[in-house]
Structure 1
Amino acid sequence: MAKPFTLVQLRYFSAVAAAESMTAASRELNVTQSALSAAVSQLEKDLDVQLFIRGRQRGMQLTAAGRQFAKDLAPFLEEADALYEAARGYSDALTGELRVGVFAPLAPFRAPVILQAFETAHPGVQLSFLEGDQEYLRRSLLEGECELALMYGLGLDEGFTTKVVERISAHVIVAEDHPLAASPDGEVSLAQFEDEPLILLDLPHTREYFMSLFAAAGVRPKIRHRASGYETVRSFVARGHGYSVLNQRLHHDQTYAGGRVVPLRLTDDLPGIEVMLVRPAGVRPTRRALAFEAVCGRLYGAGS
């Protein structure tokens, strides 16, 4: 049996859902608000589902059903565009927008490189990044704020599908005048720092990961300062306020505070951290998202 809704209705709904405003969507589509309102209302009637909560102050808010419908609809609309492009002989050219979440400490290391490679491969796609901590990205994926995210495999549950991009070992950083900065072969163990102050990178799920490393090594750290910024941690260390344990390693040892840090390899048998591409489970990825995954695979390619 043929479904009663039309492709136009679906596109109108998608625009209103993205803008959360009938006025903004009408400007984007260059159609009247009355036409948009009528199309969305008819779609809700045909589906027998309320997709929006309408309010004067808060605009058009998606219901839970509306949010899920918007997620499921995105790849369908892309396939419709691909069908049109294929008929015209342009099926290999990707267009449209792609928003990708990225874990804040990863952003300076990964986002500029990926952006350059992606724009070279797919100039017709407008790629943008949503930066935040692990918990923020997890919520953003579930709420449809971004289609996929480059993040650590921390704090995730069965509601997500993941693909490992890279595995990174933890290391210690100390100030350049620290007694252990000149350790043989640049190697140390966590036990050597048990009595020293720790500068902790304090982000949701990240802090638990670092604490698990100390637990695995049988060490009780003395946390002196907590910081949510990667460069703040490095600067505290460079100024002699303590040591820290991190994963991402810069190509230089200078800090914003002007001092230098010295990275040291850990001899402890500790688990590294996995950098992953994460998507909500059960949501079919768009061709743009798959293209982004392919670019990351070419750049880092740890395998799944």
Structure 2
Amino acid sequence: MRFTLRQIEYFIATAECGSITLASERINISQPSISTAISQLEAELGAQLFLRRHAQGLSLTPVGRETLAEAKQLLEQAQGLYLRVSEATGLVQGNLSLGCLVTFAPMVLPQVAHSFSADYPNARVLPDVADHEVLLSKIERAELDVALTYDLQVPEGFEFTPLAALPPYAMVGQTHPLAGQSAITLEELADHNLILLDLPLSRDYFMGLFARSGLTPKISARLQHQDVIRTMVANNFGYTIANIRPRASAALDGRSVHKLRIAGEQMPMRLGLLRIAGRAPTRIVSTFIEHCASMISDSYIPGMEPPIMIPKRVERT
């Protein structure tokens, strides 16, 4: 047998994604490496696994579909072998399928994944980025071992380990009428145009902040991409409300934004780890959970500024 498990992994990723380009993004491997691996696998097996159509991407041949089922079983058996050895020897090794919420992935995911791989060189982190609902679905289908996400509407059957609280804040352009204030009320914000992050669950959370105060915001735009929202805010199309606090104070076009604490006791989002409940974690998963707990807290979140916390009241006697 001259093919490798790495070639099998690249083949499965390409078959599931339908293109080498998407497979490259999914497993973070260069397109030429994937293409070469598949060609070598086809040569070793003596069979064409894909039909290559430039306009429509790749599709499996009949023998490719049969090979895919066998390849998945082979990879599962290999991963099971790593896990059994890991449990027996205490060595942390094998693949960790890690999901991360799209809204804070650019800040949190790189440092968390890199530091874990550096501490445990026999472990390989396979990252995936998606919205909260997709992460839930992938965890349920065992496509992800664990995910970094928020605690919004966690269904029964899932276990959430909180790591840090992220209170909401307002973001405005440097020349916005509210930019000179250190804190702002929801009542004051409601008089201005809101650019809403329109992602599943997130929009309900932001709208709920106003609803609990009996307010209705003036929504001027509903967008799903934070970088676009940030740039719109920097150009004074309106304000937005967010929970993550990137260290960068500028939008992608170089214009600056200003962060304002929202006065009052606002419900924070909690960043944490989500996985299936009632199932004992493997050694690599439990070690990753411990690793995250040691590096993420209310006072430190990778890639972010410390949260704007509500000042504690000083009781006078």
Paired letter, 2:199 = L
Tell me which residue corresponds to 1:157.
Answer: 155
Q: Which moved more, 1:281-290 or 1:254-263?
A: 281-290
Q: Please say if residues 159 and 274 of structure 2, whose CA atoms lie closer than 8 Å, have aligned partners that are also in contact.
A: yes
Following the alignment from structure 2 to structure 1, what is the Cα–Cα distance between the partners of residues 270 and 251? 25
Tell me which residue corresponds to 2:109.
Answer: 111
Please, what TM-score do these two structures have when normalized by structure 2? Answer: 0.70
Q: Deviation at 1:264? A: 0.2
Match of 1:97 among 82, 85, 95: 95
Tell me which residue corresponds to 1:38.
Answer: none
Please, what TM-score do these two structures have when normalized by structure 1? Answer: 0.72
Q: Alpha carbons of 1:267 and 1:204: their partners in 2 closer, same or farther (altered >3 Å)?
A: same
Q: Deviation at 1:116? A: 2.4
Tell me which residue corresponds to 2:263.
Answer: 267
Following the alignment from structure 1 to structure 2, what is the Cα–Cα distance between the partners of residues 106 and 124? 27
Q: Alpha carbons of 1:60 and 1:194: their partners in 2 closer, same or farther (altered >3 Å)?
A: farther
Residues 157-236 of structure 1: pairs in structure 2 closer than 5 A:
157-183=155-181, 186-236=182-232
Q: Deviation at 1:78? A: 4.9
SS at match of 2:205: helix
Match of 1:278 among 266, 274, 277: 274
Q: Deviation at 1:281? A: 2.0
Encode CA deviations 1:119-154: one digit per residue, 9 max, x unaligned.
221011111210010111111111111110000111
Following the alignment from structure 2 to structure 1, what is the Cα–Cα distance between the partners of residues 168 and 116? 28
Q: Alpha carbons of 1:116 and 1:80: their partners in 2 closer, same or farther (altered >3 Å)?
A: closer
Q: Deviation at 1:74? A: 9.7
Name the Cα RMSD after superposition: 3.3
Same amino acid, percent of matched pairs: 28
Q: Please say if residues 75 and 284 of structure 1, whose CA atoms lie closer than 8 Å, have aligned partners that are also in contact.
A: no
Encode CA deviations 1:183-219: one digit per residue, 9 max, x unaligned.
1xx1111110212111011111111111111112222
Q: Deviation at 1:298? A: 0.8
Following the alignment from structure 1 to structure 2, what is the Cα–Cα distance between the partners of residues 31 and 57? 11
Following the alignment from structure 2 to structure 1, what is the Cα–Cα distance between the partners of residues 86 and 177? 61
Following the alignment from structure 2 to structure 1, what is the Cα–Cα distance between the partners of residues 145 and 46? 29
Q: Deviation at 1:56? A: 6.8
Q: Deviation at 1:31? A: 10
SS at match of 2:178: helix
Q: Alpha carbons of 1:268 and 1:75: their partners in 2 closer, same or farther (altered >3 Å)?
A: farther
Q: Alpha carbons of 1:58 and 1:215: their partners in 2 closer, same or farther (altered >3 Å)?
A: farther
Q: Deviation at 1:80? A: 2.2
Q: For this pair of structures, how many residues does the alignment match?
A: 251
1:82 aligns with 2:86: yes
Q: Deviation at 1:173? A: 0.5
Encode CA deviations 1:75-115: one digit per residue, 9 max, x unaligned.
965552136xx5xxxx2432211110000111111111112
Encode CA deviations 1:253-286: one digit per residue, 9 max, x unaligned.
1001321110000112210001120001233311
Q: Deviation at 1:57? A: 8.0
Question: Can you give the 5+ residue segments of structure 1 that lack an aligned partner in the other structure?
Answer: 1-11, 34-54
Following the alignment from structure 1 to structure 2, what is the Cα–Cα distance between the partners of residues 203 and 77? 39
Q: Please say if residues 101 and 129 of structure 2, whose CA atoms lie closer than 8 Å, have aligned partners that are also in contact.
A: yes
Following the alignment from structure 2 to structure 1, what is the Cα–Cα distance between the partners of residues 45 and 123? 24
Tell me which residue corresponds to 1:140.
Answer: 138
Following the alignment from structure 1 to structure 2, what is the Cα–Cα distance between the partners of residues 282 and 74? 24
SS at match of 2:285: helix
SS at match of 2:108: helix
Residues 63-74 of structure 1: pairs in structure 2 closer than 5 A:
none
Q: Please say if residues 79 and 95 of structure 2, whose CA atoms lie closer than 8 Å, have aligned partners that are also in contact.
A: no
Q: Please say if residues 146 and 273 of structure 2, whose CA atoms lie closer than 8 Å, have aligned partners that are also in contact.
A: yes
Q: Which runs of 4+ in 1 moved over 3 A?
A: 18-21, 30-33, 55-62, 73-79
